Homo-oligomer: A and B are copies of this chain.
Amino acid sequence: MTWHYEAPLTSMRRVIEQVLDAPALWAECPVFAELDMATADAVLQEAARFASEVLQPLNSPGDLAGCARAADGSVSTPSGFRAAYQAFVQGGWPALPCDPAWGGQGLPLLLDAAVREMLDACNHGWNMYPDLLHGAYETLKHHGSDELKARYLHQIASGEWLAAMALTEPQAGSDLGQLRTRAEPQADGSLRVSGNKIFISGGEHDLTDNIVHLVLCRLPDAPPGTKGLSLALVPKLLPDGSRNAMFCDGIEKKMGIKASATCAMRYEGATGWLVGEPHRGLAAMFLMMNSARLHVGLQGLGHQEMAAQNAQRYAEERAQMGKPIAQHPAVRRTLQRLRTHTEAQRVLAYRAALALDLAERHRDEAVRAREKRFAALLTPIVKAFCTHHGFHGPAEALGVWGGYGYVHEYGIEQTVRDARIAMIYEGTNQIQAIDLALRKLLADGGVTALELLDGLRVDLGESPGLCALFGEARALLPRWLARAATDNALALDTADDLLHGLAFALLAWAVARLDAAGESHTAVFEREAVPEGLMHWWRVRDALER
C-alpha cells in the first residue's frame, strides 16, 4: 500500500502502437525509418526503471527538505538530487529527442513525451531542472549564432549544463510587454544585461557547474511592448571560467514543487550574447512554446496516473464495513473516473506529441503542414485540460485515503500541491483558452478544428453518449465561430468552456479508440464525463443565445 510507481507501460504501448498507429507513421518519416516498437519499448522500460527506482524515492524527502539558499546566494537542492541528475545525464536522457549532430539520440517527441510523463509522475520537483533543457536546445539550435551553438549546444543537449528561462519580472506577470530588463551592446559584440527577474525555475542550484540563462530583455533602441523584447544567453560561468554578474536574491516558499528552486534573479551588468534577431526575442521563445506547453500537460497526466494507480491499490487493500473500499460505490466511481480520464488524456497528449513529430519529420509536405496545424490546435487544449485534471483528479483521489490522504507520508497530498502549479505556469490555463479561441480557432476560421473533428468522427462508433457529446461540439463550433468572429467579448467569455467542451469531445474519440483497442471506458465516460462535457457546451450555447 506504500505510495509507489508502476510505470503504465502496457497502456503506453497500447496508445503508441494501437491507438495512434505510431510505428507505421514513423516508417513514413525518414529520420525514424529505423525505429521499431521493440526499440521504443526498450527506451520506455529503461525510463520506467529510472523514474520509479531513482526519482520516486527522492520525491517525498525532496518535498520535506526543500531547497536552501546560503548567504552568498548559492542554492543547494535536496539530498540525492545531484547524484540522480548525474545518472540522468549519463543515461543520455536529456538528449533523447535532440539531433544526433549535436550529440542527441534523434528519437521522436512521442517517446520523449512518455518518458517525461514518467519522470513527472515520480518527481515533479526534480524534473523541473531538466525540463527546460529541450526548450533551450531548440531555441539555441534555431536562433543561436554558430559561435554560440559551438560553445553551448552540445552541453545543453547532453545536459552537462542546465538551462533556465528568465522571463517574468515583478511588475509583469502574463503581460510580457511590461518587461524592463536592459541589455547594452558592447564593443566586443557581447551584451551587458541588467535587471531583476522572478519565478526563475532552476535559476540557481548545485546540480551542474554552469547554468545557461535565456533572458528576455530590451536593447537600448527597443520599441515598447512585446515587439521590443530581445533574447540573451547569459551563462552563470563565463567562457574563461569566471563567475558572471548574476545573483540569486531569494527562493520562493511555495505550495508545492518545493524541491525546485524558484529563484529571484538579479543581473548586474552580466555578460550575455544575443540569440536571434534584435527585438525578435519573443518569436525565438515562442518557437519552443508548443513543446514546452505539451510538457506541462504531461505533468498533469503524470500526476493523474500516480494518483489513480496508488488510489486503486490503496482501495483494494483497505477494508471498511467488511469489504475493500474499492467496492464501495462512491470510491468505485472515483477510481473509475480517475482511470478513464487518465487513459483518455494519455491518448490526447500523445497525439499532440505525434503531431509535433509528424509536422517536422514526415516525408510528405502536406502531412507536415496539416500536423503542424493540428499540433498548434491541440497544444493549448492539452496544456489546460491535462493540468486542470492533473490537479482536480489527485485532489479528488486524496479522499480515497480518508484522513490518511491529508497526511504527508501517504503521498497523495504532495501530488495535489505539486500539481497546482501546472495550471499556472507556461501560460495560465485561461491564457491557453484565449490562445485557442483567438489564435487557433478564429485565426483560420475553424478550418483546422473542423478538419480534426471530422477526421475523428469515423472512430466514434454508435455509443449514444459519445455521439451526443461529439455532435454537440460539431454543431456548436460553427455557430460559435460565426458569432465570435465579430464579437470579441463573447469569444473571451466563452473561451474556458469552449476549451473544456472541445477537450471532452476529443476525449470521446480517445475513449472510442481505446475501447476498439481492447479497453472498456465507454460506460464510465458516458456516465461521468459526457454530462460534464455537455455542461460546458450548454454554457457556450447559452452565451450564443443571449
A interface residues (Cβ-Cβ under 8 A, vs B) = 64, 168, 172-175, 177, 198-199, 252-256, 318, 320-321, 328-331, 333, 391-392, 395, 398-399, 402-409, 413, 416-417, 420-421, 423-425, 428-430, 433-434, 489, 492-493, 495-496, 526-528, 531-532, 534-536, 538-539, 542-543
Within 8 Å by CB of A409, from B253, B331, B429, lies B253
Chain B residues whose CB sits within 8 angstroms of the CB of A333 once the complex forms: 493, 496
How long is the Cα–Cα vector from A427 to B421 in the complex, in angstroms?
Answer: 30
Classify the secondary structure of A's interface with B: helix
How long is the Cα–Cα vector from A391 to B532 in the complex, in angstroms?
Answer: 19
Tell me whether A330 and B492 are in contact (CB under 8 A).
yes
Tell me whether A403 and B429 are in contact (CB under 8 A).
no
Tell me whether B402 and A424 are in contact (CB under 8 A).
yes
How long is the Cα–Cα vector from A177 to B331 in the complex, in angstroms?
Answer: 20
How long is the Cα–Cα vector from A386 to B398 in the complex, in angstroms?
Answer: 18
How long is the Cα–Cα vector from A534 to B526 in the complex, in angstroms?
Answer: 16
Query: Residue of B at shortest CB range from A334?
Result: B430
Tell me whether B330 and A495 are in contact (CB under 8 A).
yes
Query: Residue of B at shortest CB range from A332?
Result: B493
Ordered nearest first, which 3 A-B pairs have the shortest CB separation?
A: A330-B430, A255-B413, A329-B492
Chain B residues whose CB sits within 8 angstroms of the CB of A496 once the complex forms: 330, 333
Tell me whether A531 and B542 are in contact (CB under 8 A).
yes
Q: Which residue, A64, A330, A528, has most C-beta atoms of chain B within 10 A?
A: A330
Chain B residues whose CB sits within 8 angstroms of the CB of A534 once the complex forms: 535, 538
A-B pairs with beta carbons under 8 Å apart, 5 shown: A172-B320, A254-B407, A399-B430, A528-B539, A531-B539
Q: Please give 5 more A-B residue pairs, beta carbons under 8 A apart, in addition to A253-B409, A329-B495, A527-B543.
A: A174-B402, A252-B408, A256-B406, A406-B421, A531-B539
Query: Residue of B at shortest CB range from A173?
Result: B402
If A330-B430, A402-B428, A531-B542 touch, whether A254 touches B395 (CB-CB below 8 Å) is: no
Within 8 Å by CB of A391, from B64, B330, B331, B395, lies B395
How long is the Cα–Cα vector from A413 to B423 in the complex, in angstroms?
Answer: 14
Q: In the complex, what's the smallest C-beta–C-beta distance from A397 to chain B, in angstroms?
A: 12
Chain B residues whose CB sits within 8 angstroms of the CB of A255 once the complex forms: 406-408, 413, 416-417
If A330-B434, A331-B430, A542-B527 touch, whether A252 touches B407 (CB-CB below 8 Å) is: yes
Within 8 Å by CB of A420, from B395, B408, B409, lies B395
Within 8 Å by CB of A539, from B174, B403, B527, lies B527
Chain B residues whose CB sits within 8 angstroms of the CB of A392 once the complex forms: 392
Chain B residues whose CB sits within 8 angstroms of the CB of A493 once the complex forms: 329, 333
Chain B residues whose CB sits within 8 angstroms of the CB of A256 once the complex forms: 406
Chain B residues whose CB sits within 8 angstroms of the CB of A417 once the complex forms: 255, 417
Q: Which residue, A252, A403, A416, A543, has most C-beta atoms of chain B within 10 A?
A: A403
Q: Which residue, A328, A424, A526, A542, has most C-beta atoms of chain B within 10 A?
A: A424
If A416-B420, A430-B330 touch, whether A531 touches B535 (CB-CB below 8 Å) is: yes
Query: Residue of B at shortest CB range from A329?
Result: B492
Q: In the complex, what's the smallest C-beta–C-beta distance from A472 to chain B, in angstroms?
A: 13
Q: In the complex, what's the smallest C-beta–C-beta distance from A263 to chain B, in angstroms?
A: 13
Within 8 Å by CB of A330, from B64, B395, B433, B538, lies B433
Q: In the complex, what's the smallest C-beta–C-beta distance from A260 to chain B, in angstroms?
A: 11
Chain B residues whose CB sits within 8 angstroms of the CB of A421 once the complex forms: 406
Tell me whether B420 and A403 are in contact (CB under 8 A).
no
If A406-B420, A531-B535, A542-B527 touch, whether A399 touches B320 (CB-CB below 8 Å) is: no
Query: Residue of B at shortest CB range from A423?
Result: B399
How long is the Cα–Cα vector from A152 to B320 in the complex, in angstroms?
Answer: 35
Chain B residues whose CB sits within 8 angstroms of the CB of A329 once the complex forms: 489, 492-493, 495
How long is the Cα–Cα vector from A133 to B329 in the complex, in angstroms?
Answer: 34
Q: Which residue, A320, A406, A416, A543, has most C-beta atoms of chain B within 10 A?
A: A406
Chain B residues whose CB sits within 8 angstroms of the CB of A199 once the complex forms: 403
Tell me whether A424 and B395 are in contact (CB under 8 A).
no
Q: In the complex, what's the smallest C-beta–C-beta distance from A323 to chain B, in angstroms?
A: 10
Tell me whether B535 and A175 are in contact (CB under 8 A).
no
Chain B residues whose CB sits within 8 angstroms of the CB of A423 once the complex forms: 399
How long is the Cα–Cα vector from A333 to B536 in the complex, in angstroms?
Answer: 14
How long is the Cα–Cα vector from A213 to B180 in the complex, in angstroms?
Answer: 60
Q: In the complex, what's the smallest C-beta–C-beta distance from A538 to chain B, in angstroms?
A: 4
If A416-B420, A424-B403, A434-B330 touch, whether A408 touches B253 (CB-CB below 8 Å) is: yes
Chain B residues whose CB sits within 8 angstroms of the CB of A539 once the complex forms: 527-528, 531
